[in-house]
Structure 1
């Protein structure tokens, strides 16, 4: 379940750790940059997992999400946080691959958002305190749902940039090594 007072590290506008640990609640209230890790979850057929947040959550209750994730805890890497969130929210173990990071100014406060991708099995066991419903959609179905359903601000921005990243990667003549991501321009 989402812990309101989880501890996060403040970072600067270049995503460098400042050596100051604060509660996430305080970081949001003060507008301090911190890190959040999210994962776009695909199955073997390429469908994307979409879920609706529990009504009990303090942030964006009842809204849909294209990504699974949460705050990067003090001392954690983006990848560690993404894997932890997949285990906590979906009850599954996966190896999320960091694709890119950017300063996300949508939502409650600015934060660095690390966007990952992972292949997750069809059989997931979502935490009912976090996830009220989940399903899998093809990209065309998801594009339609983004227009019709209510999604979190992070979902819209992360998925828009995710699609742009994938388009750029598929059109790129340069081959990256597995697991290599990049940092996106932040504004």
Structure 2
């Protein structure tokens, strides 16, 4: 059985429960929690997704994350995903939420941020490669075709919020 997610409406209100695969196939709105990791020097963690991941295999991303389980908050999902994918246990700070059209399916994206001060232990089934990059290096990566398109939209919104 596929993981269960809350189906939500255009205002992010729960209207039902569906399997995640069904939400994607049916283009039903659901919730995704993401985390942006920075280090003490302000660099961003970027990674290349593992080739075996079902969505965007082998592409670069500046966010970690995944589906918000049914009944779970964005913040709890972000903390869970951070632990699962990087081995980092902490509570990320909520930054913004927006309705993302998505390349594969539309969804509500909750973006969180955390400053990582210790080592990371990426899950090799999720993360094939990672590095800490400057904002300029992140911009160069985001311009590549191999960068996850939805992550590019989130980066633009993050920058707009942080430049205001």
TM over 0.5: same fold? Answer: yes
The TM-score, its normalising length taken from structure 1, stands at: 0.85
**Aligned length, in residue pairs:** 164
**Native 8 Å contact 1:64 1:149 kept in 2:** no
Partner of 2:14: 17
Q: Identify which of 84, 87, 91 aligns with 1:91.
A: 87
Superposition pairs for residues 17-36 of structure 1, below 5 Å? 17-18=14-15, 20-36=16-32
Q: Aligned residue for 2:99?
A: 103
Runs of at least 5 residues in structure 2 that lack an aligned partner in the other structure: none
Rounded Cα–Cα distance in structure 2 between residues aligned with 1:74 and 1:145: 33
TM-score by length of 2: 0.96
What CA deviation, in whole Å up to 9, does each residue of 1:87-131 have, x standing for no partner?
A: 000011122111111110022000000011111135100000010
- Partner of residue 81, structure 1: 77
Distance 1:82 1:74 in 2: 14
What is the 5 A alignment of 1:1-187? Answer: 5-18=2-15, 20-148=16-144, 150-168=146-164
* 1:136 Cα offset (Å): 0.6
Please give the secondary structure, in 1, of the residue aligned with 2:143: helix
Two-structure CA RMSD over aligned residues (Å): 1.2
In the alignment, is the contact (CA less than 8 A) between 1:94 and 1:119 conserved in 2?
no
- Aligned to 1:88, the other structure's residue is in SS state helix
| Bigger Cα Rg | 1
* Deviation >6 Å, runs of 4+: none
* Conservation of the 8 A alpha-carbon contact between 1:106 and 1:157: no
Task: Tell me the alpha carbon deviations over residues 40-63 of structure 1, each in whole angstroms, 9 at most, x when there is no partner.
Answer: 110111100000000011111000
The runs of 5 or more residues in structure 1 that have no matched partner are 169-187
